[in-house]
Structure 1
Amino acid sequence: MQAELHRKIYTVSELTIEIKTLLEEHYPFFWISGEVSNFHVPASRHFYFTLKDDKAQISGIMFRGQNRNLKFMPEDGMNVIGLGRLSVYEPRGNYQIIFEYLEPRGVGELQIAFEQLKARLAAEGLFDDVHKQPIPFLPRNIGVVTSGTGAVVHDIIKVAHRRFPGVGIYIVPVKVQGVGAEDEIARAIALLNRIEKDVDTIILARGGGSLEDFQAFNSETVARAVFASKVPVISGVGHETDFTIADMAADLRAPTPSAAAEIAVPLKSELVARNMDLAGKLLRWTLRHVAQKMERLMEASRRLVHPRRRVGDLWMRLEELSGRLGARCREKLRREKERLVWQRHRLGVSAPIHHLPSLDQALKTLRTGLDASIRRHLEGGRIRGAELCNRLGALNPMAVLERGYSITQTVPAGEIVRSADAVAIGGLVNVRLAKGVLRCRVEERFEIDDKANI
């Protein structure tokens, strides 16, 4: 009982705070390596990820104030080395490493940043050939963006004036490395674009160096300034084996700054020799062409006829054709007259007046036959009508009644009586005669022979 009174009972918060204090005091800062996984960046822009090896893993966080200084972006599967301190997140009781610094393991930070920026800009199409501008053959003026104190600018001027004396050169001195270098380079390119009516080509150059020295030329700011330039850009950065992001975005890459000047400016002596050669060829071609035309002119002159003689020949030809045309017209007129006489004779023979007597006689014959046919038809109709009238009169009921027959009908139904059994004794009947109707009462019925007299 006494032991229970002296035992220490922690709350969860108290124990967590003690563990947090112990870990943070024992591991204030340390270096750690591992593989990045589950990397994500929420709206707060803090980096959250898991650092693991083949046996264990631990949560990691790098706050926005520290990760904005990184030259590369961590990715899942990347091996890194980091400087951090151990901490405990009290609400969940999890321990984690808060990183102050990260670098790729085995590959330099700048190289990783170079590859990541290169892949992203390539995906946007900044390096595509379709956007490359042709370099002017003979520029009036060249803009040079490089250090104003290094040997590079003197080499470019020397090469340019050696190849083509008198070519204009605009020097825009900038920092080529260090803090603010990339912004100065971008502003210099923009400045030369504002005077693009005077500048035909831009040379972006610097001497050799390490990857750290080329950092300004591997920046996104310079790459986008080169890509946006309306004036063609030749990139001559470092030596032949050095490649930068600016080289890929430029319209043309030169292996060295001196080579960039050689590409931008043609060799004047070669142009003069070429012009002289072309002038000689043009003169020879012109003389040969004139000689050919003169020869053709002389040949044509030999074959030409004097205009007066030509007019006389044409006049004789015209008279001949006129005579032939008159003869053809007269012959044509004679044939048409003969044809008209023949047609008139045929028309006179075929005139309707010559056929009138025969047609009149035929009409009279047809009329006589028609009259006889009508009379025969009418007589036959009259005979047929009289016959039908006789037959109709014989079938007329009134004619039967006129011969003494009658029609007997029951009263009041009006049915015709055909048998004595159809009327009861004392029944009334109507007897229709040829003239008038008798109403009779039946007093007696009897059967008679069909052949006996009534």
Structure 2
Amino acid sequence: MTTSSYLTVKALTKYIKRKFDADPHLRDVYVKGELSNVKIHTSGHIYFTLKDDEARITAAMFRAQANKLKFKPEEGMQVFIRGDVNVYESSGIYQLYVQTMEPDGVGGLFVAFNQLKERLQKEGLFNPQFKQPIPKFPNRVGVLTATTGAAIRDICTTITRRYPLSEIIIYPTIVQGAQAAPNIVKNITIANEQMLCDVLIVGRGGGSIEDLWAFNEESVARAIFESRIPIISAVGHETDTTIADFVADLRAPTPTAAAELAVPNQQELYQHILNRKSYLHQIVSSKLNYEKSRLKKLKNAYPLATPERLYRPFTERIVNLDMRLSKSTQLFLMKKKHDYRHLEGAIKMHSPKNAIKYLEKQLEQSTNLLTRSMFNVLNNKKEAYLSTIRTLEALNPLTIMNRGFSVTYKDNKVIKTVSQLSANDEISIHFHDGETKAKIIETIVNQGGSK
């Protein structure tokens, strides 16, 4: 066999792929199995392995088909898959290309509902602390629902009957089909931008889970949660429950019940007003009777029979205060007179004539003190000067020389010892009255040494 008889890998793979393409049983297959190694790519494609107890096959679900899923594929989930089997040429493996996927045992919508409910609950969107209170007396009620059908009629009829003071603002909304969720989000956003309403009713009449699915969409749930206007959810019948019911500030079992929760009942308000009026009448009557009884008792009281006794203590107190005031005034005047005399004496003492005499005396005393101080300073300086002169005279070498001493120099340096001189050295001898020049003949050192 020649080398030309051998196939390339690419040619063999293409041949196998054509076999797969030609097999009608592989073009539309229905497979049941367990999901494994699930990877949801950022592009939207889903890659996984489908397996059972005996075998496994790789699978891919592209974005166009994956966007139609109502649930999120998860590890270990049993599913029903419809698709086709083909060869992926680059890796030379065959795999399942998924067109549709349904969970085994329960519907895909139910799985998607539970998955979204669990995720939003973990995020806190159902937390009661984020629920806004519904106003008791709303001026305007916004209604987001279809303009046709029983729901809008029931809501408007109920509000008009219960509380005609409230104005109804209708936001025509698509509540079923592919466009329903975006339209609900849009109208909630518009209502919040306008801020005309005190409360919003969002809902529709009953139907299947597919009919109500728009109220299970994540975008609708987040729009309800972020609304600054309190929202009452009214979707379907009493047994129907949607994600919107969990996120809304208040859940009503039906649209009619939502209208009843949104506004008060005018008959009940009127009856409440009558009850309060009757209660106030009883309270006022009771209070008047009580005060009348008190007044009667006061009129018959002993002090009022002799009113002068009531103010007698005050009269006595006024008399005492008057006496104390008079006495205090006299003491005050006496003190002021004493202060006046004291000031008058001080003024006389400090008259200009007396002040001059006082200052002259002060000047004389200061002059005497200054003279004594100067005399003491001069004496001290004189004594110090004389002491210094005596010290200088004692230390003056001329004074010493007067007693027969002299100073010998050699080369202008004082000779202090014999060792500084040698024979034939010329020296200068200074006496107190002059100096003389001499020449050394011989030096004799004490202790018997000679030189």
TM-score (norm 1): 0.68
Q: Are 1:71 and 2:70 matched, yes or no? A: yes
For residue 193 of structure 1, report the CA deviation from its aligned partner. 5.5
| Gap change, CA 1:320 and 1:39, over 3 Å in 2 | same
| Separation in structure 1 between the aligned mates of residue 254 and residue 416 of structure 2, nearest angstrom | 147
For residue 239 of structure 1, report the CA deviation from its aligned partner. 3.4
For residue 441 of structure 1, report the CA deviation from its aligned partner. 7.7
| Separation in structure 2 between the aligned mates of residue 391 and residue 215 of structure 1, nearest angstrom | 130
Which residue type is aligned with residue 112 of structure 1?
V
2:14 to 10, 13, 17: 17
Equivalent residues of 1:431, 1:440 under 8 A apart: no
| Gap change, CA 1:13 and 1:441, over 3 Å in 2 | closer
Structure 1 counterpart of 2:236: 238
Structure 1 counterpart of 2:354: none
| Gap change, CA 1:69 and 1:336, over 3 Å in 2 | closer
Query: C-alpha deviations, 1:269-301, integer Å up to 9, x for none?
Result: 22112101212233344455567778899979x
| Separation in structure 2 between the aligned mates of residue 189 and residue 418 of structure 1, nearest angstrom | 126
Structure 2 counterpart of 1:112: 111
Q: Secondary structure of 1:72's partner?
A: coil
Identify the range of structure 1 (98-107 vs 207-216) with the bigger mean alpha-carbon deviation.
Answer: 207-216
Q: Secondary structure of 2:404's partner?
A: helix
Structure 2 counterpart of 1:248: 246
1:396 to 397, 400, 422: 400
Equivalences for 1:426-441 in 2 at 5 Å?
437=436, 439=438
Structure 1 counterpart of 2:28: 29
Q: Are 1:327 and 2:330 matched, yes or no? A: yes
Structure 1 counterpart of 2:276: 278
| Separation in structure 2 between the aligned mates of residue 437 and residue 423 of structure 1, nearest angstrom | 18
Equivalences for 1:115-154 in 2 at 5 Å?
115-122=114-121, 125-148=124-147, 150-154=149-153
| Gap change, CA 1:445 and 1:279, over 3 Å in 2 | closer
Which residue type is aligned with residue 62 of structure 2?
F
Which residue type is aligned with residue 260 of structure 1?
A
| Separation in structure 2 between the aligned mates of residue 100 and residue 154 of structure 1, nearest angstrom | 42
Equivalent residues of 2:33, 2:50 under 8 A apart: yes
Which residue type is aligned with residue 400 of structure 2?
N
Which residue type is aligned with residue 397 of structure 1?
M
Equivalent residues of 1:141, 1:201 under 8 A apart: yes
| Gap change, CA 1:158 and 1:394, over 3 Å in 2 | closer
Q: Secondary structure of 2:79's partner?
A: strand
Q: Secondary structure of 1:16's partner?
A: helix
Which residue type is aligned with residue 250 of structure 1?
A
For residue 109 of structure 1, report the CA deviation from its aligned partner. 0.8
Which residue type is aligned with residue 10 of structure 1?
L
Structure 2 counterpart of 1:349: none
Which residue type is aligned with residue 34 of structure 1?
G
For residue 216 of structure 1, report the CA deviation from its aligned partner. 1.9
Which residue type is aligned with residue 243 of structure 1?
T
| Separation in structure 1 between the aligned mates of residue 245 and residue 205 of structure 2, nearest angstrom | 14
| Gap change, CA 1:238 and 1:392, over 3 Å in 2 | closer
Structure 1 counterpart of 2:224: 226
Equivalences for 1:298-309 in 2 at 5 Å?
none
| Separation in structure 1 between the aligned mates of residue 5 and residue 115 of structure 2, nearest angstrom | 55
| Separation in structure 2 between the aligned mates of residue 88 and residue 110 of structure 1, nearest angstrom | 32
Equivalences for 1:13-412 in 2 at 5 Å?
13-26=10-23, 27-122=26-121, 125-148=124-147, 150-157=149-156, 159-160=158-159, 163-164=162-163, 168-169=167-168, 174=173, 176-186=175-185, 189=188, 197=196, 199-287=197-285, 323-332=326-335, 396-400=400-404
Q: Secondary structure of 2:136's partner?
A: coil
For residue 252 of structure 1, report the CA deviation from its aligned partner. 0.5
For residue 247 of structure 1, report the CA deviation from its aligned partner. 0.9
For residue 129 of structure 1, report the CA deviation from its aligned partner. 3.5
| Gap change, CA 1:265 and 1:388, over 3 Å in 2 | closer
For residue 160 of structure 1, report the CA deviation from its aligned partner. 4.2
| Separation in structure 2 between the aligned mates of residue 185 and residue 137 of structure 1, nearest angstrom | 25
Same amino acid, percent of matched pairs = 36
For residue 321 of structure 1, report the CA deviation from its aligned partner. 6.1
Equivalent residues of 1:409, 1:417 under 8 A apart: no
Query: C-alpha deviations, 1:102-130, integer Å up to 9, x for none?
Result: 12222321112223333444455543434
Give structure 1 stretches of 5+ with no counterpart: 306-311, 344-351
Equivalent residues of 2:426, 2:437 under 8 A apart: no
| Separation in structure 2 between the aligned mates of residue 209 and residue 415 of structure 1, nearest angstrom | 140
For residue 28 of structure 1, report the CA deviation from its aligned partner. 1.9
| Separation in structure 1 between the aligned mates of residue 263 and residue 397 of structure 2, nearest angstrom | 140
Which residue type is aligned with residue 235 of structure 2?
V
TM-score (norm 2): 0.68
Q: Secondary structure of 2:133's partner?
A: coil
| Separation in structure 1 between the aligned mates of residue 188 and residue 443 of structure 2, nearest angstrom | 150
Identify the range of structure 1 (334-343 vs 275-284) with the bigger mean alpha-carbon deviation.
Answer: 334-343
Query: C-alpha deviations, 1:175-234, integer Å up to 9, x for none?
Result: 54344333454455556667753x443333334443223212212343344345444321
Identify the range of structure 1 (16-25 vs 285-294) with the bigger mean alpha-carbon deviation.
Answer: 285-294
Equivalent residues of 1:201, 1:233 under 8 A apart: yes
Equivalent residues of 2:393, 2:399 under 8 A apart: no
Q: Secondary structure of 1:96's partner?
A: strand
Query: C-alpha deviations, 1:47-86, integer Å up to 9, x for none?
Result: 2222233443322111222222222232333332211211
Query: C-alpha deviations, 1:302-351, integer Å up to 9, x for none?
Result: 7999xxxxxx99998897566434422344357668989999xxxxxxxx
Q: Secondary structure of 1:400's partner?
A: coil
Which residue type is aligned with residue 18 of structure 2?
T
Equivalent residues of 2:50, 2:59 under 8 A apart: yes
For residue 92 of structure 1, report the CA deviation from its aligned partner. 1.9
What is the number of equivalent residue pairs in this alignment?
A: 409
RMSD: 5.4
| Gap change, CA 1:131 and 1:333, over 3 Å in 2 | closer
| Gap change, CA 1:441 and 1:54, over 3 Å in 2 | same
For residue 400 of structure 1, report the CA deviation from its aligned partner. 1.6
| Bigger-Rg structure (1/2) | 1
Structure 2 counterpart of 1:347: none
Q: Secondary structure of 1:396's partner?
A: helix
